[in-house]
Amino acid sequence: MPDNEQRRTQRLARRLEGKVAIITGGGGAMGGAQARLFAAEGAAVCVADNRLATAEQVAGEITGSGGKAIAVDLDVRSAGAWAAAVAQTESELGPIGILCNNAGANFRVGFEEQTEDQFRTIMEIGLTGSFLGIQAVVPSMRRAGGGVILNMGSLASIRPGGGSPGYAAQKMAMVGLTRSAASSFARDGIRCVIISPGHVDTPFIRDDNEHSPNDWSTSINNPENLKRRVDGTPLARLTQPEDVANAFLFAATDDAAMITGSMITVDGGAAI
């Protein structure tokens, strides 16, 4: 494992110099960590989120420290919004070489309790949103001479279990979407990888968000819920957003030049 000095030196290599990345859920915890890391590695970043204020905050941090970023209001469920986001990103930053599909939703109720509306919302944000993003960005990637599509998976992409049926279906479906995109666009020099984190310390499993509601029975603010997740992780801690961003960075660079259609887990062994 590289020590901090090695990591710092690698950073100085600016492995994404000249690349343009569009990052959905960029105002969120994992998307924000990717945006900051990619910008530190030299990428120009479009921070896209339907909560524009959060995207603006992340983009502001990046530009404030000398990086290149814009914030864009994007609801990933809308093909029209995708077309506008891609056009703005291309005109302000250039053709897009990297797409990170982070935006997601969950409603933590079981099969018989989940409403049609909740199921559709999970599928539309996580799955349809990623599909529309790939369709919108691929022509730009061709103009860039190739690209990398990075889809957000989950433990639910490996063993969905008996919780939220929409989340199970959405995260398993991301495996299929990843493989479909990988085979469809390989000859364009476009790779597609799914990265599946375990239990990550973010508002998604801690706070009461519109896209991912939690109460005391589900939140990791409840010590019992936190303990269950840490106990289920052989490396015995929650994953941090930066752990996941490091895997996104690897998959985005030519170090991963022959990796496509595959899954990378970042879960401290939770899926073993």
Nearest approach, Cβ of residue 189 and ligand NAD (Å): 26
Q: Which among 5-13, 21-29, 35-43, 139-147 is the span making contact with ligand NAD, rule CB under 6 A? A: 21-29
CA dist., res. 105 & res. 90, Å (int): 28
Active-site hit among 119, 167, 185, 248: 167
Residues from 34 through 93 that contact ligand NAD (CB under 6 A): 49-51, 54, 74-77
Catalytic residue at 167? Answer: yes
Q: Which of 95, 97, 104, 166 binds ligand NAD (CB under 6 A)?
A: 104
Nearest approach, Cβ of residue 36 and ligand NAD (Å): 13
Size of the site for ligand NAD (CB under 6 A): 33
Q: Which among 10-18, 136-144, 195-203, 253-261 is the span making contact with ligand NAD, rule CB under 6 A? A: 195-203
Q: Which of 138, 165, 199, 249 binds ligand NAD (CB under 6 A)?
A: 199
CA dist., res. 1 & res. 30, Å (int): 22
Residue closer to ligand NAD, measured from CB, 172 or 189: 172
Query: Which two three-digit tokens encode residue 96?
Result: 């897009």
Of the candidates 126, 216, 221, the residue with the CA atom closest to the CA atom of residue 166: 126
Q: Which of 203, 213, 232, 261 binds ligand NAD (CB under 6 A)?
A: 203
Give one DSSP letter per residue of 149-179, joined into a string. EEEE--GGGT--TTS-HHHHHHHHHHHHHHH
Three-state DSSP at 224 gives helix
DSSP 8-class letter at 156 = G
Query: Which residues does 23 contact at the CB level (< 8 Å), separation at least 6?
Result: 31, 34, 35, 38, 45, 46, 47, 48, 100, 102
Are 202 and 30 in contact by the 8 Å Cβ rule? The answer is: yes
Residues near ligand NAD (CB under 6 A) are: 24-25, 27-31, 49-51, 54, 74-77, 102-105, 125-126, 152, 154, 197, 199-200, 202-205, 209, 211-212
